[in-house]
Structure 1
Amino acid sequence: MSLDSDVIVDRRRMRRKLTFWRVLAAVVAIAAIVAISVMLSPRGRATFTSAGSIARVNIEGLIRTDQERVEALDRLGNSSVAAVIVHINSPGGTTSGSEQLYNALMRLKAKKPMVVVVEGLAASGAYMAAVASDHIVAQQSALVGSIGVLFQFPNFTQLLKTVGVQVEEVKSSPLKAAPNGYEPTSPEARAALDSLVKDSYAWFRGLVQTRRGMDNALLDKVSDGRVFTGRQALDLKLIDQLGDERTAIAWLVEQKHVKKGLPVRDYHLQPRFGDLTFLRTAASLTLDALGLRGIAHQLEQAGVTQAVDRLNLNGMLALWAPGGIN
C-alpha cells in the first residue's frame, strides 16, 4: 500500500515537472516569435540599426508614390545610424512619386549625413531624387540627367474606326476628361496638357538650378532631356565626383567627420506588393524552375518587362527609357 502511494507521488511530481518545462518552452517560443516579429517590422529594423554603422538604401526601378517607403526613410532619419548612402539605379517614374521621394530624402539629409551613389542610371525623376543630396557620386559610365517631363496617352481613334466602334459621351465642358483616347485630341486639350507639362518642367528646372548651383546658361544646356555619362555629368555640375560606394564613404569621413571603418549595412525599405514587382519576381522564379530563364532574359532585353511596368504608371512622367519606350 505504501509502495503504491510512493508511485503515485512520484508520478504527480513528474507531471508537475513536465508541465513546468512545457510552459517554459511555450513562453520561450512566444518570446522568440515576438522578438523576431519586432526585428522584421519596419520600426524594429530602425530600432535595431546600430549607431556604429552606415545605412545603405537602394532606390531601383520605376518610381511611384509609396507612403511605406516615405515612412521607412523617416524612421531611418530618427534612428541612430551614423550616415546614409543612397544607391540609385532608376529611369525615373511619375512626377508625383519622384517629388515625394525627393522630399523624403531632403528630410533624411537634414538629420543624417547623406550621399548619393549612381550605379547605372539616375534619369529624370530619379535624378530629381538624387539632387536631394549635397554630394552625388557616379561611375564614369553611369547615365545621369534627362531633366524633363512628359505626358503620354494612347489614342485608339483609328483602331475604333477599323472595327466600327464609336464611343459617345455627354460631358459638362469641352475639356472634361480630355484627352480620352477615343477621339482626336482637340487643340484646346493639347494646349491644356502643354501648360501642365511646362509648369512641372519649370519647377523641375528650378529645383535642379537651386540644388546644383547652376547659372541659366548651364541649366539650359543640361535640361534639354538628354542623359549624360558620369564623365560628362561631372563637367556639367550634375554630379560632384566620379567613383563608387568607397568614394562615398571616403567623402563622409573627410567632409562629414563620420568615423572611419564603420560597417555599411543594408536598410531594406518596406517591400511593395501593390504594383507588378511581386508578380514579376514570382514569374522570374517560375521561369527559373522550368529552365526558361533565357526567355525571361530575352523579354527583359526587348524592353517588354519595362513596357508592362509602364502600364501601372499614372499621371505625368519624369521618365527616361531608350528604344522607343518613352
Structure 2
Amino acid sequence: MAQDERPAGRRGAMTFLAAVALLAAGCGQIPLAGTVDTRSTFRGHADVAARVEAALTGPIEVTVPTVTDPGPVRVVPVREGSTGARVAIVDVDGLLLNDRPSGPYSAGENPVSGFRERLDAIGRDPTIRAVVLRINSPGGSVTACDVMAEDLRRFRERTGLPVVACLMDLGTSGAYYLAVGADHVLAHPTTVTGGIGALINRYNLRDAMAQFNIVAEPIASGPMVDMGSLAGPLSDEAERLLRDMADGFAARFRGRVALRRPGVGDEDWEVLADGRVVAASEAIDRQLIDAIGYLDDAIAEAERRAGVAGGGAEVVLLKRRGDPARSIYAETPNRPIQREFFPISYPGLDRAKMPTFLYVWAPDPTLLTLGGS
C-alpha cells in the first residue's frame, strides 16, 4: 500500500471528520468529546448559499451530547384498516424497573415512564378504540410493577377503552401482576406465566470481597441500620424482618389476583401459593388466564370488545422517531449496549440497584442491574 504523503495534520483532520460523518449517519446517541490538531483548510457552506473558506490552526474541540431527545411517541401503523377505528399495541418488554439504561451507547427507555406516556397518548387519540398490552417480561421491581398496574387502572377508568393483555414468551410475576388489570388475558400456547410471590435479590459477597482483601467495617447507629448488607450473612432478626416484608408484598400480589381473577379457587391457591410458574395449559385450567391463542387473536378480541366489526381496525404501535415498526411484533430495545462488550455482571456489585424487592421469576443475576422492555 502506498504511503499517504499528506501532512500529518491534514490526515488527522480528514480522519476525524470522516469518523464524525460516519457516526452522524449511523447512530443517534454517540457521546464524543475530544480535540484534534490540524493545519488543514476547512471548507463548508451555509443554508444561505454563502461559501466560507478559512485556514484553521490549533486545537478544534468537538462535543456531542451523550443524550438526545428523539421526541414524543408517535403512531406507527403496522396493519391497514377499513373502518377508521384503531387498535393500539403497547409493548411491555424486559425487566420492569423505574430506571433508564445509562452509560455510553445505551438504548431504550424507562419502562415505567414509557408505559405512562403511551397510555396518555392513547387517551388523547379519539380514533383508538381498544388497547392490546403485548407483554413479554419476567416481572420487575415491586414498586415499578405496582405503579404500572395503577396507571393502567386509572387509564381504563378514565377512557373506558377495552384492554386485552397478550402474554408472549413470559408473563410472570410482576408482568402477570400488570396483566390481570386487563379486561381479558390471553396467552400463547407456549407462554410461561404465574409466579405469584415476591423476593429480595440479596447476595452475600463476603468471600468475594476477601479475595481482594476488602473487609467491611460499617459504623452504624443501630444493629439494623445496615440490615441486608452484602458484606456478610444475615442475622436471624434481619432475615425475619426482610421475610416479613417479602410476605407482605406477596400477600398484596395474591389479593390483587384474587380480586381480578375470582375464578381461581382454593385448590388452585394451594398449588400456586409457593410462587411457582406454570405453562399456559395449566394457567387456563386454574383460571389465571382467559384464553390461549396468538397476538392476532388478542387483536381480534380487542376489536370485538370495541365493537369494530369484521376485523377492520387499523393496528398501530406508539414509537419514537428512529424506532421502526413494520409488524405487530416490532419492539424497542431496552438495554445498556455498552455492557454487551463485557457481558459478565457479578451479582450484587452494582450497589445502586441492590437490594430491591422484586415481583420477578427466576432472575438471571446478570440481568438484575438492567433497566429494560
Taking a change above 3 Å as real, the CA distance of residues 309 and 191 of structure 1, as seen in their structure-2 partners, is closer
TM-score between both structures, scaled by the size of structure 2: 0.62
Is 1:73 the equivalent of 2:108? no
Gaps of 5+ in 2: 1-47, 49-69, 77-82, 99-111, 323-332, 369-373
State how many pairs are aligned: 266
TM-score between both structures, scaled by the size of structure 1: 0.71
1:63 alignment partner, SS class: coil
Alpha-carbon offset, residue 324 of structure 1: 8.0
Q: Distance in 2 between matches of 1:269 and 1:196?
A: 38
Q: Decide whether the 8 Å contact of 1:69 with 1:270 is kept in 2.
A: no
The correspondence of residues 272-291 of structure 1 with structure 2, limited to 5 A, is: 277-280=334-337
Amino acid at match of 2:362: A
Which among 151, 160, 164 is matched to residue 104 of structure 1? 151
Q: Decide whether the 8 Å contact of 1:42 with 1:72 is kept in 2.
A: no
Q: Distance in 2 between matches of 1:194 and 1:138?
A: 31
Taking a change above 3 Å as real, the CA distance of residues 309 and 232 of structure 1, as seen in their structure-2 partners, is farther
The correspondence of residues 155-234 of structure 1 with structure 2, limited to 5 A, is: 155-161=204-210, 163-213=212-262, 214-234=264-284
Q: Decide whether the 8 Å contact of 1:57 with 1:269 is kept in 2.
A: no
The correspondence of residues 236-275 of structure 1 with structure 2, limited to 5 A, is: 236-260=286-310, 261-268=312-319
Between Structure 1 and Structure 2, which shows a larger proportion of helix residues?
Answer: 1
Please list every run of at least 4 consecutive aligned residues from structure 1 whose deviation after the TM superposition is greater than 3 angstroms: 43-46, 159-165, 253-256, 304-314, 322-326
1:175 alignment partner, SS class: coil
Which range is displaced more, 190-199 or 245-254? Answer: 245-254
1:82 alignment partner, SS class: strand
Q: Distance in 1 between matches of 2:203 and 2:287?
A: 36
Amino acid at match of 1:98: C
Alpha-carbon offset, residue 115 of structure 1: 0.3
Taking a change above 3 Å as real, the CA distance of residues 138 and 307 of structure 1, as seen in their structure-2 partners, is farther
Q: Decide whether the 8 Å contact of 1:222 with 1:236 is kept in 2.
A: no
Q: Distance in 2 between matches of 1:176 and 1:309?
A: 20
Alpha-carbon offset, residue 320 of structure 1: 1.2
Q: Which residue of 2 aligns with 1:316?
A: 357
Q: Distance in 2 between matches of 1:177 and 1:309?
A: 16
Q: Decide whether the 8 Å contact of 2:346 with 2:365 is kept in 1.
A: no
Q: Decide whether the 8 Å contact of 2:204 with 2:231 is kept in 1.
A: yes
Is 1:58 the equivalent of 2:58? no
Amino acid at match of 1:218: D
By relative contact order (CA 8 Å, sep 6+), the higher-ranking structure is 2
Which among 143, 155, 175 is matched to residue 126 of structure 1? 175
Q: Distance in 2 between matches of 1:263 and 1:256?
A: 13
Which range is displaced more, 56-65 or 77-86? Answer: 77-86
Alpha-carbon offset, residue 153 of structure 1: 1.5
Gaps of 5+ in 1: 1-21, 23-39, 288-295
Q: Which residue of 1 aligns with 2:72?
A: 42
Alpha-carbon offset, residue 77 of structure 1: 2.5
- 1:258-277: per-residue Cα shift (whole Å, max 9, x none)? 34311111123799xxxx93
Q: Distance in 1 between matches of 2:75 and 2:298?
A: 23
Q: Which residue of 2 aligns with 1:83?
A: 130
Q: Distance in 2 between matches of 1:41 and 1:192?
A: 44
Q: Larger C-alpha radius of gyration, 1 or 2?
A: 1
Amino acid at match of 1:62: L
Q: Distance in 1 between matches of 2:279 and 2:243?
A: 29
Amino acid at match of 2:173: S
Q: Percent identity?
A: 27
Which range is displaced more, 233-242 or 163-172? Answer: 163-172
Q: Decide whether the 8 Å contact of 1:64 with 1:313 is kept in 2.
A: no
Taking a change above 3 Å as real, the CA distance of residues 145 and 109 of structure 1, as seen in their structure-2 partners, is same
Q: Which residue of 1 aligns with 2:24?
A: none
Q: Which residue of 2 aligns with 1:94?
A: 141
Alpha-carbon offset, residue 103 of structure 1: 1.2
Taking a change above 3 Å as real, the CA distance of residues 238 and 56 of structure 1, as seen in their structure-2 partners, is same
RMSD of aligned Cα (Å): 3.5
Q: Which residue of 2 aligns with 1:28?
A: none
Between Structure 1 and Structure 2, which shows a larger proportion of strand residues?
Answer: 2
Taking a change above 3 Å as real, the CA distance of residues 217 and 306 of structure 1, as seen in their structure-2 partners, is farther
Taking a change above 3 Å as real, the CA distance of residues 210 and 89 of structure 1, as seen in their structure-2 partners, is same
Is 1:148 the equivalent of 2:194? no
Q: Distance in 1 between matches of 2:121 and 2:218?
A: 48
Alpha-carbon offset, residue 84 of structure 1: 0.7
1:177 alignment partner, SS class: coil
